[in-house]
Amino acid sequence: MNLFKKKEKKECCCSQIDEESVKKAEELIKDDGIKILGSGCQKCDKLEESVRIALSEFNFNLPIEHITDFSQIASYGVMSTPALVLNGEVVSFGKVLSVDEVKHILSIKMKGQ
């Protein structure tokens, strides 16, 4: 019976993150604008599409950056993607927002500025 057999120690994914990646990620958080965080999957693409449509309906011409680097995503504290970041603040994560949901978030954030 091997219930108490010593398990092999596996290397953590965090060991792949170097100091330069962390500094770059911290600088990105300070950047203004709209960011989609995710691996580039279908859900991420759908969120980006919803954001683009919402921006066009508000006649905003803002660039959208899609971040796929997991060390950068983690620097935002996001553990579930896709995520939407507005001016350095995570406003949604783990959900594909509809166009109306994005418009609602944009209208709240624009009033606060």
Q: Give the residue with greater pLDDT, 26 vs 40.
A: 40
Structure tokens at 110: 């624009």
- Predicted confidence at residue 2, as pLDDT, reads 62
Please indicate, yes or no, whether the overall pTM of this predicted structure exceeds 0.75: no
Domains of the chain: 19-102 (3.40.30.10)
Which residues are annotated as catalytic?
Answer: 41, 44
Q: How far is CA 75 from CA 46, 55, 98, in A?
A: 23, 26, 25
Q: pLDDT tens across 17-36, in order?
A: 666 766 665 665 567 789 99
Confidence band for 112, pLDDT divided at 50, 70 and 90: low
